[in-house]
Amino acid sequence: MHPNEAMDELMTCRLDQARKAVGPCTLVIFGASGDLTARKLIPALYHLSKDGQMPADFRIVGFARRAKSAAEWRAELREALTAYSRSQPVDEAVWETFAQRVDYCEGDLTDPTAYVKLAGVIGAFPTPELRQNLLFYLATSPSQFSVVAEQLHVAQLLHRDGHGYWQRLVIEKPFGHDLETARELNHELTRFAHEQQVFRIDHYLGKETVQNILTFRFANSIFERLWNRDAVDHIQITVSEKIGVGSRGGYYEESGALRDMLQNHLMQVLALVTMEPPVSLDAEPIRDEKVKLLSSVRRLQPGQVADHVVRGQYCEGFVSGEAQAAYRDELKVNPQSDVETFVAVKLFIDNWRWAGVPIYLRTGKAMPLSASEVRVQFKPTPNVLFAAQCGPLLDANALTLRLQPDEGISLRFTGKVPGVGYGLRPVRMNFSYDSEFGAYTPEAYERLLLDAIAGDATLFIRRDEVEQAWEIADSIRAGWDARPLDPHEFYPAGNWGPHLADTLLTQSGRAWREPRNP
């Protein structure tokens, strides 16, 4: 080992001792026949088991309406691993041990007798921990969340007081359709479980690079000192998707880009990038600061939306040379649909740190590439010396956090071009997670499932956080007031949204910086 590597190893600060232990438990997956279970949940649980991260004893029970035996479900899961496992080939010895812990229960989510049957399956497990420590993963339609919670409570599988054991509900987004329905859902769930038992999962928070935002900010004093209105000119957060809606047209007709992406993923990244330091790394202090930040985001009045928000919908075009149909021509989409597939927003945070600093967020489908990044652009140098001579050619310093793909961090600054003259040019210092730590990055669901089993809610979303994010989204939607899209709000597939999105920045002398071009 190189001496510097040895020193790096000695200097590594390990916080793993603070991680909550995982004990024997049973995971029940509602919606066991669905795509999420096959593509994400079972591969994640298999890899956790393979890596020795799962409890010493555990069981997995799939609950779905389709009639099949446990053996048939195991065979389906084995095929799913071949298709979706992040490591190939599948380790047969690990799979055989894993499969022995997998069971299946047929039943309808609305049928009380199905939950009695489920209780019988769980009740046959050999230890009290397997019968009482229960994680219920609701990979179902959001409209069924409260139904499942109530039926579990009636069947005495979900208790508000576990008497020394625990039961938890994990639910997937969307958490409601707007603020009103989010509040209704939260009220219904907490009729049968404490808020501490409800784990609202946003897979974005399980991404390694998203988690590293807090580390980058609060473990490096050189950057934290610049992280405020005195040094920062503005912030851009981009989450772009290369694909169109594909087979999800029916879902997208009900959500649109505002509800599908901005209300959750972008708001979560915004909160982590701009929140105040928590008093500790425990779950509640971190979530407290995220809620404080979101409550500080200025709500838009309906008359302000046109000046602060741009929406769009993709029409036919080409993405990476491949033809892409218009959104209105996609499967299960209304041919006259006015649902937005792109949204860009200019927000302000009304607190001491960020007063007056514009925050620009954008997300869209059928864009030139799939990427997620945060760009913190610092204020330009005073108009003396180099700025006076170079004018707009002297680019501002910027820090870019690349969340995906090519995860890493780059710092852009100005350097002198070698030679006898005095030419200046923007240059970059790049940090790549792959180069520094190797290519392996665990799937987001691995981290999140393990945290849910351990009862660590740090990366899960609290009810007041959900409601604050919906307030922001609803204030935007109110400004649209069911107005149909006009011709200027369409953009050809393969472009960075409608031209109107550029005016959000150009009107103040700024410009979007495209991912991979920091």
In DSSP notation, 369-411 reads S-EEEEEEEEPPPPSSTHHHHHGGGSPPPEEEEEEESS-EEEE
Query: pLDDT tens, 101-138?
Result: 999 999 999 999 999 999 999 999 999 999 999 999 99
Token pair 């992040």 is found at 86
HSE at residue 132, side-chain half, CA atoms within 13 A, is: 10
Is pLDDT at 387 greater than 60 in this prediction?
no
Find out whether 299 and 472 touch, Cβ atoms under 8 Å: yes
In angstroms, what is the C-alpha Rg of the chain? Answer: 25
Sequence-ordered list of residues with C-beta below 8 angstroms from that of 283, at least 6 positions apart, any chain? 456, 457, 458, 460
pLDDT for the residue numbered 14 = 52
The arrangement of strands across the sheet holding 408-416 comes to 424-432, 408-416, 398-404, 371-378, 232-240, 358-364, 342-348, 309-315, 490-492
Q: CA–CA separation, 398 vs 413, rounded Å? A: 7
Name the band, by pLDDT with cuts 50, 70 and 90, for residue 21. confident
Domains and CATH numbers, the chain: 23-172 (3.40.50.720), 208-376+438-443+462-506 (3.30.360.10)
Please report, as a single letter, which amino acid is at residue 47. Answer: H
Query: pLDDT tens, 322-355?
Result: 999 999 999 999 999 999 999 999 999 999 999 9
Find out whether 254 and 142 touch, Cβ atoms under 8 Å: no
> Measured between alpha carbons, how far is residue 126 from residues 54, 62, 435, 449 in Å?
18, 18, 46, 23
Closest to 205 in 3D by CA, of 138, 140, 291, 270? 270
3-state secondary structure 118-149: HHHHHHCCCCHHHHHCEEEEECCCHHHHHHHH
Cα–Cα–Cα angle for 468, 473, 479, rounded to 5 degrees: 135
Q: CA–CA separation, 370 vs 424, rounded Å? A: 32
Is pLDDT at 463 greater than 50 in this prediction?
yes
Query: pLDDT tens, 358-371?
Result: 999 999 999 999 99
Query: pLDDT tens, 141-168?
Result: 888 999 999 999 999 999 987 678 999 9
pLDDT for the residue numbered 412 = 84
Q: CA–CA separation, 410 vs 413, rounded Å? A: 10
Q: CA–CA separation, 171 vs 408, rounded Å? A: 30
- Cβ-defined contacts of 110-114 (< 8 Å, 24+): 110/144, 110/147, 110/151, 112/151, 112/154, 112/155, 114/63, 114/151
Find out whether 57 and 130 touch, Cβ atoms under 8 Å: yes
Cα–Cα–Cα angle for 214, 216, 222, rounded to 5 degrees: 125
Name the band, by pLDDT with cuts 50, 70 and 90, for residue 481. confident
Least confident of 193-197, 229-233, 238-242, 251-255: 251-255
Find out whether 31 and 139 touch, Cβ atoms under 8 Å: yes
- Tell me what percent of the chain is helix, strand and coil, each rounded to the nearest 5: 45, 20, 35
Find out whether 310 and 501 touch, Cβ atoms under 8 Å: yes
Question: CB atoms < 10 A from the CB of 154, how many?
Answer: 13
Counting Cβ atoms within 10 Å, is residue 298 exposed (0-12), middle (13-18) or buried (19+)? Answer: middle
> Measured between alpha carbons, how far is residue 10 from residues 19, 247, 432, 505 in Å?
20, 50, 22, 46
Average pLDDT over residues 263-281: 94
DSSP β-ladder status, 371-378 and 398-404: antiparallel
Chain mean pLDDT for the chain: 89
Residues identified as active-site? 265
Structure tokens at 141: 């339609």
Please report, as a single letter, which amino acid is at residue 224. Answer: E
What is the phi/psi pair of residue 123, to 5°?
Answer: -65, -15
Is pLDDT at 7 greater than 60 in this prediction?
no
Name the band, by pLDDT with cuts 50, 70 and 90, for residue 6. very low
